[in-house]
Structure 1
């Protein structure tokens, strides 16, 4: 009997070791960089997910040549969480290349390899990878202009990379640009086949009100061009409250739920309501600056905007069953003075 119990114990321990293991999973095995400009550094990023059941630690990341430097998440990656490995490659020789990235970790196997390939050229002629969006004879690297979340009073800049494939010189211009965004093109005029950069700078103190601002701007492809769906770029800015001065007293917002499902309650009703509780687990007052909805059939009602430590507020969310304004999933944006996470999203499903 003792032998049976001992054998059972050993088997359980063995299974325990098998179950509680990290597992390294990359979003890609190989990255094809296409044409790379000689002596102009480029970066390749791998998203690492721990698909195991215990923390993953990347102990060492090395590259196959001195022309590439690796950076990686040095803290432990919890199960089902993500980290990164980023490699900066500065090509010193022309021609094709095939480089490897060796990753040592506490996963099994403990050593795995990722790769990146491409061709180093003196002048890039194939822009299909770096500038995949075409508007007429102008190539762009993106079709969405999304600024990083910005606090009131801060400035943020993003760039739009362009290539002129017109026979004639081209002057990059964005039409219907909001007054709180400054634009600078370098160079101001692009010759045939020349690359350029449009830099957009956001002046957040010129925005009126916190929250999400979404609009459209239009690329002028030639002199006298007009706005239309074929030259439209979406624009997104999220303005957060001014950052509070660091203090030992900080508010901490906790939501009773971050997602509400109205699919059942709206099945035979014109409208339905649910309540989310906003609790303050910090030691300073929470201030709710704004609750922003994005669909006319969604309504919100908050019983108080100031929440003292240890107290909570009620956020009543009502969704109308409007057959002409259907949606499967919407969101509500909540902006507060919780500096750790000033913007929260509540997902609405129906």
Structure 2
């Protein structure tokens, strides 16, 4: 009897040992690369439970106050996945290797993770996320687009700014038209930090259907003047309103292009090159082109007829000149039509080099 009890106890102990959580990580080391000074970076470690019982992360300790951690606080079931997020504050220049000790209900011994990288005053990777340089500031874009706007809309565009200078910067925009408002968040961007300007469009202040373009300018200091360097293009495309019944929709015009992408050139020694796109109305009623515009002043477009009868085709000529290289923004042609399914048609134009 004694031997039977010992055997049963051993069997139960063996089953208990088998029925337990088992922790695995997708990575135990995260290489963060080059970080900009004072710009925190977050890494995420995936935690997988390969065992047969729930896994619980009880604590995550970092080896300094420069790193903060958050983690899945609920039980991670067998075969399920949780996370550990570690944020390094990048307050110290130079290389870093920071550790995290992960405690679980598996045993009393921690599992170790690490973050590695380097903090720099002049982040080599800043030009990837903020490729447009204005003095000592880097912008996420210099070409703001409000596409597919309907009358009454108030869309907001987020323009991010990286302050790589050694002084705090109060971002402001000059020459804002009546239909645009701007708000800086935060009002002052500290050295090495990223801020943003929230550009909001009031579509009710747009007077014309189709494309409206303007230039605004980033002010770098008190008394700064407008220049090509500080210029930011802003475009808004206001769509026509359609209130048609199903019967009217069935009889509507249908705009069909043979291509929405045109490749021209190369220019070489030529001052301009021309290509063409065929526009066909496959609908039941006349197709009307109410606006035919270009996004870039270096492009010109011509269309003999703005009213195309059902079943008819018109040739659209598009010309690009050497002057196009002096202007910012993409090379595009815009059509505003009375086709309810295609009120806006955009043709992208590229030039061979």
Normalising by structure 2, report the TM-score: 0.52
Match in the other structure for 1:278: 280
Shift of 1:137: 2.6
Q: How many residues align?
A: 248
Range with greater deviation from structure 2 (184-193 or 223-232): 184-193
Q: 1:317 to 1:136 in 2, by over 3 A?
A: closer
Map 1:53-68; keep pairs closer than 5 Å: 64-65=46-47
Q: Equivalent residue for 1:225?
A: 224
Note the 1:225-264 alignment, pairs <5 A: 225-242=224-241, 244=243, 247=246, 249=249, 251=252, 252-256=254-258, 258=260
How far, CA to CA, are the matches of 1:274 and 1:137 in structure 2?
A: 43
Moved more, 233-242 or 289-298: 289-298
Q: Distance in 2 between the 1:134 and 1:344 partners?
A: 32
2:152 alignment partner in structure 1: 153
- CA deviations over 1:71-97 (Å, ceiling 9, x no partner): xxxxxxxxxxxxxxxxxx983465879
Q: Measure the CA separation in 1 of the matches of 2:33 and 2:217.
A: 29
State the match for 1:215 in structure 2. Answer: 214
What is the aligned partner in structure 2 of residue 179 from structure 1?
178
Deviations 1:14-47 (A, max 9, x none): xxxxxxxxxxxxxxxxx977547366x99xxxxx
Q: Which residue of 2 aligns with 1:290?
A: 291
Gaps of 5+ in 2: 1-30, 49-69, 72-82, 89-95, 99-114, 266-272
| Residue equivalent to 1:190 | 189
How far did 1:201 drift?
0.5
Contact 1:210 1:239 in 2 (8 A): yes
Shift of 1:65: 4.4
Note closer, same or farther for the CA distance 1:188–1:124 as it changes in structure 2 (3 Å cut).
Answer: farther
Structure 1: 5+ residue stretches without partners: 1-30, 43-62, 69-88, 98-117, 264-270
Deviation at 1:184, TM superposition (A): 0.6
Task: State the TM-score, normalizing by the size of structure 1.
Answer: 0.53
CA contact (8 A) 2:46 2:84 kept: no
- Whether contact under 8 Å (2:206, 2:212) holds in the other structure is no
Q: Give distance in 2, aligned partners of 1:132 and 1:303.
A: 40
The answer to whether the 8 A contact 1:132-1:140 is kept is yes
RMSD, matched Cα: 4.9
Aligned-residue offset at 1:330: 6.7
Aligned match of 1:304 in 307, 312, 325? 307
Whether the 8 Å CA contact 2:262–2:275 is kept in 1: the answer is: no
Q: 1:336–1:342: 8 Å Cα contact kept in structure 2? A: yes
Equivalent position SS for 1:205: helix
Matched, 1:37 2:40: yes
The alpha carbon displacement at 1:167 in A equals 4.3
- Contact between 1:93 and 1:120, CA under 8 Å: does it hold in 2? no
Secondary structure of 1:233 counterpart: strand
**Contact 1:154 1:203 (8 Å CA) reproduced:** yes
Deviation for aligned residue 1:124: 9.6
